[in-house]
Structure 1
Amino acid sequence: MRSRRLLITVLAGATVMVLPTACSTGKAGGGSSAKPQTVPATPGSGASVAPPSGESGAVQFQQAAPGSGKGLKIGLITLDDSVPFSKLVSDSIKKQAKAAGATLVYCDSKGDGATALACARTFKVQGVKGYLNFQSDAKSANAICAAGPAVPVIAIDITQGSCQTSFMGANNEFAGTLAGKALGTYMKKNFDCKYDAFVSMEEPDAGDVNTARMGGYRKGFESVCGPVEHLKTENAFRIDQARTTFADVLTTLPGAHRIVVAAINDDAIEGALAAAKTAGRTKDLFVSGQGADPSSWCDIKSNPQWVGDTAYFPERYGEIGVPYLIRAIKGQTVPKDLLVPHQIIDPANIDSVYHPSC
C-alpha cells in the first residue's frame, strides 16, 4: 500500500523466475542500496523480536529453515519495486526463499490491478504451489483470486479477497495508534493540545487498511488530547501527489502555525514537508509517519518537526511470509493474522535501532 522510491539491484543466488513485467527468467536474488544497516535483532541471526506490550496477533521474525522449501515453487506479486518499501519486502522474501531452497516466481504488479491479475494467471500456468500477494487494489482482490491457482495465499499489508489464507504485515490500527499517541503526547507537552488543524493524509483505495491505520492515528491522538478538531482528510500518499495536495492545504490555512499531520506512509509526510519548505512554513508542521523508511531516518533523527514514526521492518517481512507460506503449502495450520511487531521510532531511539549514517 505504500509508494516509495528505490533503484533495483540484482545479485546472483536464489532461483527467481521474474514474470511478466521484468521480461527475464534465471537465477537472481535481491539486494538494495538502501538496505538498513541494522535491524532490531542481529541480521541473519534468526533472532526474534518480541511484540511490544499491547500488540496482539504479532509473531516473531524467524529465518526460513534451510531446505524447508526444496522442490516447491512459490510466487510473489509485489507492490512496485521501483519504490523502497516494496523493494525491501521483495528482497527479504527472495533472501528467505533462497534460504529455504524454494523456487520463487516473482512478478511486479507496478501498483496496477490489471497487472496483478496477469501475475496471478501466470502463477496458475507456472504451477505455483502458494504465493504471497502485495498488490494495492483491494477492489480487484477477488478477481485476482479467481484468476490464480487454488493454493494457499498470504496477503501482504492489504487484504486479498476470498483466497487469502493469512494476512501478513502491518497491525494497522495498532501501528496508527502508536504514531497518533506520539503526536498527541508531543502536542500535549509543548502546546497543551492546542493546534490549528489536523491533516490526515490517506489512501482510500486501500480499503480496510486505510480505515484501520488512520482510525488508529485518531484513536492514539485522542487518548492524549481528546477528540480531534479541525480535521482535514486528503487522498495523498505518493510524494509528488502529497507535495501538490499539501501545497493546496497550506493555502487554506494561511494563519495556521500548529498543523498536525498524520499520514498513511512516510512518502506523504515527505511530500507535506517539501510543500511546507517551498512555502517557507516548515516550522508550522508537526508530523508522524508510518514505515520508518531508510529515506526518512535522517529526518526522524534531526528534524524537530518529525515527532515519531511507526517502524514496520520491511527488510524482515520474508522472515514471516516465507516460513508460514511453506507451512501452509505443506498442509499445516497457520494463524489467520501474521502481524509485524511494531515499534515507535523517534530521535531518542533511532540510533539504537537503525544506526543511520547522518
Structure 2
Amino acid sequence: MKKQKLFAMVCVAVLAFSTVGCGDSDSPDKGKNEQAAESSSGQTEEKADGEITIAWSCADLSNQFQVTLTDSIKEAVSDLGAKYLEGDGANDASKQVSQVENFITQGADLIMISPADSDACAPAVTAANEAGIPIMIVNCKIANQENATCYVGSDDTQAGEMEMEYIAEQIGGKGNIVVLQGLDGRDATVKRTEGINSVLENYPDIKILAMQPADWSVELGMSTVENWLQTMEFDAVVSQNDEMALGAVQALKANGKENILVIGVDGIEDGLKAVKTGDMIATVLQDAPSIAKKAGEVAEKILAGETVEPEYIVPFQVIDKNNIDEYYTE
C-alpha cells in the first residue's frame, strides 16, 4: 500500500510538471522540449512498473554510527517501497562525488548523502542539480547546503554545547580538559568545536590543555590520549564521538587514570555499554533511527512534488547513569 501510494504521488507530480513545462510549438527551445518530453516519457514508462529509486552515499561504513544510520536509511527506503542504491564513501570525498554521478546515471529519483567532507563533497550537489535530481543532505551539512534540496539531521553545535556543559558541571566549573576532535573538514567537527568553545566562554577557570583531531577513530583516540598522559594532567576528556572516547578509555585504563572523566557523542552501542559500566560518564545521543525515519518522511514529500523545509533537526539527548537503562540493556 505504501509503495502504491508513493508511486501514485510521483505520477501526479510528473504529470503536473509536464503540463507546466509545455511550450509553444514555435518556441526556439522546441528541440529541447521534445528531448525533455522523450526523457520524461521514458522515465514515466519505467515508473509504470512501480519502481522508484532512492540512492544513499554514506560517509564511512567503518564508523559505527554510520553503520546504524545506513541500516536505518535502508529500512526507511524499504518502507517507502522504493528501490535502494548504496555507496560507502570510506571517508573519501572524491569517491562520494563519483558515487553520486553513478546514481544519476542509474536513474535515481532522489539522492541522499552524508558527506565525508563538507567542502570536497560540494560538487555532488552541483551534479545532482544539473541532472534535475533532488539531493538530501543527511547528518552533516555540506558547504553549498543552500543548493541542496534540504538537510535532515542534528545540530552539531548543540552536541558540543551539551557535552561541554555536562563536563563543566561534573568538574565544578574549574579544571583542565583535553578535546578529541573528528576529521578535519567535517561539518560535525567544526560545529561541535564551536559548541565546546561557546560554553567555555562561561567557564574561565576551565582550561583546554590540548585539542587535536583523532579522525573519529578508536585507535587514534587511544594513541592521542596516551601521548597527552605523558606530558600533562587533566580532569576530563571531551570527545566529539563515542569511538574516540572508547579509545581514550582504553588509554586511561592502561595508565591507571580511570578517575579521569570521559564523554562522547553518538550513543552507539559500545558507548552506551561504557556508560552503563561507568567507563564513560556520559554520551550525547545522536538518534540515527529517528534521523533516518525523518529522512524517509521528507523523501516521500519530495517525490510527491511537495515543498519541503530547508532543514529538519532531530535533537540530541544526554545519556548518563540516570537514564542509561532507558537506552541500553545487557
Partners of 1:91 and 1:204 in 2: CA distance: 23
User: Quick one: which of 343, 346, 350 aligns to 2:317?
Assistant: 343
Offset from partner CA, 1:250-308 (integer Å, 9 cap, x none): 1111xx2x42211110011111111122222222x2121111111111211221x5222
Match of 1:88 in 2: 68
Deviation at 1:204, TM superposition (A): 4.9
The answer to which structure has the higher strand fraction is 1
Deviates more, 1:96-105 or 1:325-334: 325-334
> What are the within-5 Å matches in structure 2 for residues 48-87 of structure 1?
67-70=4-7, 71-87=51-67
Match of 2:170 in 1: 186
Partners of 1:229 and 1:133 in 2: CA distance: 37
Match of 2:192 in 1: 213
User: Quick one: which of 264, 268, 276 aligns to 2:244?
Assistant: 268
Is the CA contact (8 Å cut-off) linking 1:67 and 1:99 kept in structure 2?
A: no
Matched residue SS, 1:82: coil
Question: In 2 relative to 1, CA 76–270 (structure 1 residues): closer, same or farther, beyond 3 Å?
Answer: same
User: Quick one: which of 77, 96, 104 aligns to 1:124?
Assistant: 104
In structure 2, what residue type is equivalent to 1:297?
A: L
Match of 2:32 in 1: none
Offset from partner CA, 1:84-115 (integer Å, 9 cap, x none): 21111111111111111111111111221122
Alignment gaps of 5+ in structure 1:
1-63
Deviation at 1:66, TM superposition (A): 5.5
Match of 1:155 in 2: 137
Partners of 2:191 and 2:123 in 1: CA distance: 23
In structure 2, what residue type is equivalent to 1:211?
A: V
Confirm or deny that 1:291 pairs with 2:266: yes
In structure 2, what residue type is equivalent to 1:335?
A: E
Question: In 2 relative to 1, CA 124–66 (structure 1 residues): closer, same or farther, beyond 3 Å?
Answer: closer
Partners of 1:268 and 1:131 in 2: CA distance: 30
> What are the within-5 Å matches in structure 2 for residues 26-65 of structure 1?
none
Partners of 1:268 and 1:333 in 2: CA distance: 39
Alignment gaps of 5+ in structure 2:
8-50
Confirm or deny that 1:282 pairs with 2:258: yes
Offset from partner CA, 1:183-217 (integer Å, 9 cap, x none): 111111xxxx332x221111252344322212213
User: Quick one: which of 174, 197, 207 aligns to 1:229?
Assistant: 207
Confirm or deny that 1:99 pairs with 2:79: yes
Matched residue SS, 1:135: coil
Partners of 1:102 and 1:126 in 2: CA distance: 14
Partners of 1:330 and 1:227 in 2: CA distance: 54
Deviation at 1:67, TM superposition (A): 4.2
Question: In 2 relative to 1, CA 249–112 (structure 1 residues): closer, same or farther, beyond 3 Å?
Answer: same
Question: In 2 relative to 1, CA 152–252 (structure 1 residues): closer, same or farther, beyond 3 Å?
Answer: same
Deviation at 1:341, TM superposition (A): 2.3
Is the CA contact (8 Å cut-off) linking 2:142 and 2:187 kept in structure 1?
A: no
Confirm or deny that 1:356 pairs with 2:329: yes
Deviation at 1:348, TM superposition (A): 0.7
Deviation at 1:222, TM superposition (A): 5.0
Partners of 2:247 and 2:230 in 1: CA distance: 15
Matched residue SS, 1:231: strand
Matched residue SS, 1:154: strand
Deviation at 1:227, TM superposition (A): 5.6
Question: In 2 relative to 1, CA 120–227 (structure 1 residues): closer, same or farther, beyond 3 Å?
Answer: farther
Is the CA contact (8 Å cut-off) linking 1:138 and 1:205 kept in structure 2?
A: no
- TM-score when scaled to structure 2? 0.79
Question: In 2 relative to 1, CA 133–275 (structure 1 residues): closer, same or farther, beyond 3 Å?
Answer: same
Is the CA contact (8 Å cut-off) linking 1:186 and 1:307 kept in structure 2?
A: no
Deviates more, 1:286-295 or 1:173-182: 173-182
Identity within the alignment, % = 20
Matched residue SS, 1:229: strand
Is the CA contact (8 Å cut-off) linking 1:180 and 1:219 kept in structure 2?
A: no
Root-mean-square deviation (Å): 2.1
Is the CA contact (8 Å cut-off) linking 2:267 and 2:285 kept in structure 1?
A: yes
Deviation at 1:351, TM superposition (A): 0.3
Is the CA contact (8 Å cut-off) linking 2:97 and 2:124 kept in structure 1?
A: yes
Question: In 2 relative to 1, CA 230–134 (structure 1 residues): closer, same or farther, beyond 3 Å?
Answer: closer
Deviation at 1:220, TM superposition (A): 3.7
- TM-score when scaled to structure 1? 0.73
In structure 1, what residue type is equivalent to 2:159?
A: A
Partners of 1:317 and 1:332 in 2: CA distance: 20
Confirm or deny that 1:112 pairs with 2:86: no
User: Quick one: which of 207, 220, 235 aligns to 1:259?
Assistant: 235
In structure 2, what residue type is equivalent to 1:234?
A: Q
Is the CA contact (8 Å cut-off) linking 1:78 and 1:109 kept in structure 2?
A: yes
In structure 2, what residue type is equivalent to 1:219?
A: S
Question: In 2 relative to 1, CA 289–131 (structure 1 residues): closer, same or farther, beyond 3 Å?
Answer: same
Deviation at 1:132, TM superposition (A): 0.8
